[in-house]
Structure 1
Amino acid sequence: MAVNSTQTVAIVGTGMVAKAHLQSVADLSDKIRLKGVLSRQAERAAVFAHNASALCGYGVETYSDIDALAGDADVDWVIVLTPPNARTEIVRKLAAAGKSILMEKPVERNLDTARTIVETCEKAGVSLGVVFQHRVRAASRRLAELIAGDQLGELAIVEVNVPWWREQSYYDEPGRGTYDRDGGGVLISQAIHSLDLMLSLAGRVAEVQAMAHTTLLHKMEAEDYVTAAMRMENGASGSLIASTASFPGDAESITLHGSKGVAHLQSGILNLRWHDGREEEFGATATTGGGADPMAFTHEWHRDIIGNFADAFARTEAPLVSGRTALNVHALIDALIESSTKKCAVTVPYPEFLQ
């Protein structure tokens, strides 16, 4: 496909995050045209298509089922926004039809099922990208550049803090915060963003010892509060606090202590304190959905991820976060839960093909 040609896409799923994807697609009209939408609820699909048509300035249709979408020869790739437990069959049919896929995190509910999806796409020869939009923030990119240039020096300590808040009404939605639909609680639904970003910046985690709880602040099946100690593969020590029980909710942060300085990345702001006395600040303030409203964030980061996937698709390159790359964070989350369940330290079980 020519790099400057318009790509035709479809959207599967019309939940909360679909609005951010629609706004992003509309912003990227020079690269992408939205052909249609599929939802389990026909009425929701019709409303979404109506709103999409108004926003994009052209007609957006609805699909009756996944077979109709997979059989649409006009569609180049598909944005999948369904709950994690609804994806395996959707991915199988899209991949068999030669459709590349960009999906919201997580890939699936656990490492094994996520790996099945990745292998399905790789065997079919289609691209699979995952939306981890925290990676494309300007401050995150700046920190990645500093690390690549060895500006922080040797990494000694990694600290991850996700002090978010969700009202009980959030978990009252059927399936939310359950193992069957979501694959868990705060780790796989919220903290996964910070954990993925941490892995991209600080490298992989070798071993964890964790405690996962459901606090008295929520009635839900899975965990809403996790603490953990981590040992990084590069020898650094680490800590994690992940919560949706920390009222009223604050911005997530990653702090990296190096031999030359300390980098504190809080949402879109990067603060640097160098051992020679210099201090710097980089980035811009923006909400990230850490409070009661999970959608209180800019769609611009989603736009950048979608734009990256479109560019990668045109060039037949891997997207910023491939399905295979996303398995690293799934392995870490599985290890954290296993450690809490067994009450012992656990080695992170990265799949053999990621070694």
Structure 2
Amino acid sequence: MKTIAILGLGMALAPHMAGLADLKGRVRLAYAVSRSSARRAAFEASYGIAATDDLDAVLGDPAVDAVILLTPPASHRDLGSRILAAGKHLLIEKPAGLVIDDTRFLADRAKALGLLVTPVLQHRFRSSVRAVAKIISSSAPGKLCGVHCLIPWWRPQSYYDEPGRGTYARDGGGVMLTQAIHTLDVLRALCGGARISAAHAGTSPLHRMESEDMVCALATFGPDAAPGTIMATTACFPGMPETMTLIFERMTIRLKGLQAQVFHHYGQVETLGGEGASGSAADPMAFDHASHRELMSAFLDALEGKTALEVDLSDLLRTRELIDAMTEDHGH
């Protein structure tokens, strides 16, 4: 049984708590930490667990094996460093800091201290994504020939009216870092890498915000440099599921939301995964927590020495590099 603490009791909390409830035979939540008295009170009312603002006491408890860090990105470098310095493993919400050097810093600290860090890139743990990854790893598809990725999400202005949201000072960026990062991480992993050829990032008339809400890019994918496109936005009302179309020599694979379809050239069509909301519309938390649970389970497996980490900060670094290449013309 591993003992953990959660630091940050805001919007990202619910799927993590649901995942922990599913894994109660393997993990114990010992502490919930927030500077906000209102959020501590709300947490205690919702979950019946006492919350605290004393982070030093939590990090000083030798019983705590790991910390789940759910605070805004601007705090991730400093808090992540404190957690690692206390000898605790770390599960950290994306992005791991405002700029890519923050992620490199935490990766170097973890390596030096012999600690494990997993970023919350939970889409990699969707059943459809895992099934598609298995197919691609075989020789069945043939060479990758082309790629199209569309992330037509919606966030109302009220979402960006939250203090700090969509700013460089708190979030580090807009649609790419706070929404599209999950899909782009899956895309990069399934295709075996991506390189941006040209991109445009901007803010549409639908939002008043500092950072970008719309990005379009031309790219090449995988070792054979298959051509393709990427488009991501939070200005597409009312919000539609993200789609990835991967064109191979002997099949086309299309991932839409939680589901994937494999169209074989000989006629068979396979459907993988299930249906459900993916957080594409006005409510960013309208999605099932199953992929969070599977990510946490994999993190626990690594803590228990059963397996290596399935997703680590090197994955987040490569995905952040991809994002930075698309948004450099919309910098702060």
TM-score, normalised to structure 1, is: 0.90
1:101 paired with 2:90, answer yes
2:67 to 78, 103, 127: 78
Match of 2:296 in 1: 306
1:260 paired with 2:255, answer no
Match of 2:16 in 1: 21
1:67 paired with 2:62, answer no
Q: Deviations over 1:204-259 (max 9, x none)?
A: 11333110110000000001011000022411112101010000100011110001
Question: Mapping of 1:123-138 within 5 angstroms?
Answer: 123-138=112-127
2:184 to 173, 195, 204: 195
Distance (Å, rounded) in 2 between the aligned partners of 1:151 and 1:306: 31
Range with greater deviation from structure 2 (311-320 or 202-211):
311-320
2:309 to 319, 329, 332: 319
Q: 1:83 to 1:45 in 2, by over 3 A?
A: same
Distance (Å, rounded) in 1 between the aligned partners of 2:215 and 2:76: 27
Q: CA deviation at 1:341?
A: 4.7
Q: CA deviation at 1:104?
A: 1.3
1:118 to 107, 111, 117: 107
Q: Where does the alignment leave 5 or more consecutive residues of structure 1 unmatched? A: 1-5, 54-59, 343-355
Range with greater deviation from structure 2 (182-191 or 19-28):
19-28
1:154 paired with 2:143, answer yes
Secondary structure at the counterpart of residue 24 of structure 1:
helix
Paired letter, 1:150: S
Question: Mapping of 1:335-346 within 5 angstroms?
Answer: 335-338=325-328, 340-341=329-330
Q: What is the percent sequence identity of the aligned residues?
A: 39
Paired letter, 1:185: G
Kept in 2, the 8 Å contact 1:36–1:49? The answer is no
Kept in 2, the 8 Å contact 1:256–1:264? The answer is yes
Q: Where does the alignment leave 5 or more consecutive residues of structure 2 unmatched? A: none
Distance (Å, rounded) in 2 between the aligned partners of 1:316 and 1:285: 31
Kept in 2, the 8 Å contact 1:157–1:256? The answer is yes
Match of 1:350 in 2: none
Distance (Å, rounded) in 2 between the aligned partners of 1:146 and 1:291: 30
Paired letter, 2:272: F
Q: Deviations over 1:159-207 (max 9, x none)?
A: 1110000010000001111111111100011000010001110011133
Q: 1:29 to 1:72 in 2, by over 3 A?
A: same
Distance (Å, rounded) in 1 between the aligned partners of 2:326 and 2:269: 34
Distance (Å, rounded) in 2 between the aligned partners of 1:13 and 1:137: 25
Distance (Å, rounded) in 1 between the aligned partners of 2:44 and 2:306: 29
Match of 1:167 in 2: 156
Match of 2:266 in 1: 276
Q: Deviations over 1:281-339 (max 9, x none)?
A: 2221010110011111011111111111111111164322111221100111111112x
**What is the total number of aligned residue pairs between the two structures?**
330
Q: Deviations over 1:3-54 (max 9, x none)?
A: xxx111100001111011111111111001100111120231233134333x
2:175 to 186, 191, 214: 186
What's the RMSD between the two structures over aligned residues?
1.5
TM-score, normalised to structure 2, is: 0.96
Kept in 2, the 8 Å contact 1:109–1:179? The answer is yes
Regions of 4+ moved over 6 Å: none
Distance (Å, rounded) in 2 between the aligned partners of 1:96 and 1:297: 34
Range with greater deviation from structure 2 (143-152 or 61-70):
61-70
Distance (Å, rounded) in 1 between the aligned partners of 2:54 and 2:77: 15
Secondary structure at the counterpart of residue 87 of structure 1:
helix
Q: 1:318 to 1:84 in 2, by over 3 A?
A: farther
1:291 to 281, 284, 289: 281
Paired letter, 2:324: D
Range with greater deviation from structure 2 (147-156 or 62-71):
62-71
Question: Mapping of 1:222-241 within 5 angstroms?
Answer: 222-234=211-223, 235-241=225-231
Q: 1:63 to 1:316 in 2, by over 3 A?
A: farther
Match of 1:56 in 2: none
Match of 2:129 in 1: 140
Distance (Å, rounded) in 2 between the aligned partners of 1:110 and 1:152: 36
